[in-house]
């Protein structure tokens, strides 16, 4: 049996990524129970706070994706309740969850990230969509990648090959958020690097290479078994693999993250990694990337989750 007491896994929520979160929560709960941990899984509703006050858990594992799960809000509530949790604190989450802000931070410490424009919906409409989008294409060139400035799971994201495709991509993006991030598309190998800190500093797990069957790693490609081929570790040169690991750890540190994160990168033809975004609550489903990284590193996912919870308990107020 585990030496941990009762722990809580938070899953679900009301974001667009609710179903993915529920799957992540089930997976984490299952692997923790297999390690002998006493686990309760709960959604975020009006009964959550009274329940925690009545029976405080030893620690919380947050598997909420998007919205309150990654923008720091639920973590602020947990801190108000004096309950320790796995992952970054509220301030770091707010910075990391906003992709343009995260890009600015990592660029300030020397990491490469695609040139981009951030465009709120109001500006898009008020200044005239045609004129603004035309200038974006002139500035960034083609192809482009459009995605919501906040959010995940590729919801609202589009690969734009021609200028004529850009207006529809913007409309699709604004369906999931009020601000769009338009990036110059970098051709290369798409990889994801998970970072864990088990007490001796952040360490990168083996990179996972992502090869979607349609060429774009969209929502369906992420969460439909068989739609994407993964290679763990990624098929990179030793130099590129080392550069990806260093980039992920640097991003994790620069953004003030804690315990666990996952950084998405594109490795160009010169083996140079380009930072795309970071995730403070990585997916834990059967097709998610952190579990693949852990397996490639020879780590048992349940033991890894248990160790992260154990570390969180050391931050419990005295």
- Known binding-site residue numbers for Mg(2+): 264, 277, 279
b vs e for 279-299, b when ≥16 Cβ sit within 10 Å of the residue's Cβ?
Answer: bbbbbbbebbbbbbbbebbeb
Among residues 152, 278, 148, 134, the alpha carbon closest in space to that of 204 is found at: 278
* Residues catalogued as catalytic: 17, 153, 288
Q: For residues 97 and 70, what is the distance between their CA atoms, to the nearest angstrom?
A: 6
At 274 the three-state DSSP class reads strand
206, two tokens: 């083996």
Residue position matching structure tokens 């919906």: 121
Q: Which residues are annotated as a binding site?
A: 264, 277, 279
Sign, CA dihedral 30-34-35-38, equals positive
Q: For residues 317 and 5, what is the distance between their CA atoms, to the nearest angstrom?
A: 16
- Secondary structure E strands in the chain: 7-10, 39-42, 59-62, 116-120, 144-148, 158-160, 179-184, 189-196, 203-204, 208-212, 228-231, 260-267, 273-279
- Tell me if the bond preceding 208 is cis, omega within 30° of 0: no
DSSP 227: S
């Amino acid at each position: 049996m585990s030496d941990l007491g009762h722990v809580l896994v938070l899953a679900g929520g009301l974001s667009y990524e609710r179903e993915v979160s529920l799957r992540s929560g089930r997976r984490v709960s299952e692997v923790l129970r297999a390690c002998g941990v006493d686990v309760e899984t709960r959604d975020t509703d009006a009964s959550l706070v009274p329940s925690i006050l009545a029976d405080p858990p030893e620690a919380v594992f947050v598997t909420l994706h998007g919205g309150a799960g990654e923008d720091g809000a639920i973590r602020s509530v947990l801190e108000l309740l004096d309950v320790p949790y796995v992952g970054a604190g509220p301030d770091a989450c707010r910075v990391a969850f906003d992709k343009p802000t995260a890009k600015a931070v990592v660029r300030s410490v020397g990491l490469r990230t695609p040139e981009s424009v951030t465009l709120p919906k109001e500006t898009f409409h008020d200044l005239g969509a045609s004129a603004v989008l035309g200038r974006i294409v002139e500035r960034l060139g083609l192809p482009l990648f459009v995605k919501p400035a906040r959010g995940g799971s590729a919801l609202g994201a589009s690969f734009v090959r021609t200028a004529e495709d850009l207006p529809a991509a913007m409309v699709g993006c604004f369906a999931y958020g009020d601000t769009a991030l338009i990036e110059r598309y970098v051709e290369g190998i798409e990889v994801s690097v998970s970072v864990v800190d088990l007490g001796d500093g952040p360490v990168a797990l083996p990179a996972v290479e992502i090869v979607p069957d349609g060429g774009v790693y969209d929502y369906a490609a992420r969460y439909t078994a068989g739609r994407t081929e993964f290679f763990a570790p990624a098929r990179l040169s030793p130099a590129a693999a080392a550069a990806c690991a260093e980039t992920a750890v640097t991003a994790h540190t620069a953004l003030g993250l804690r315990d666990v994160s996952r950084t998405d990168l594109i490795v160009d033809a010169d083996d140079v990694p380009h930072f795309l975004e970071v995730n403070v609550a990585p997916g834990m489903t059967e097709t998610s990337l952190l579990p693949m990284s852990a397996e490639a590193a020879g780590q048992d996912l349940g033991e890894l989750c248990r160790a992260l919870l154990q570390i969180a308990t050391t931050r419990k107020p005295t």
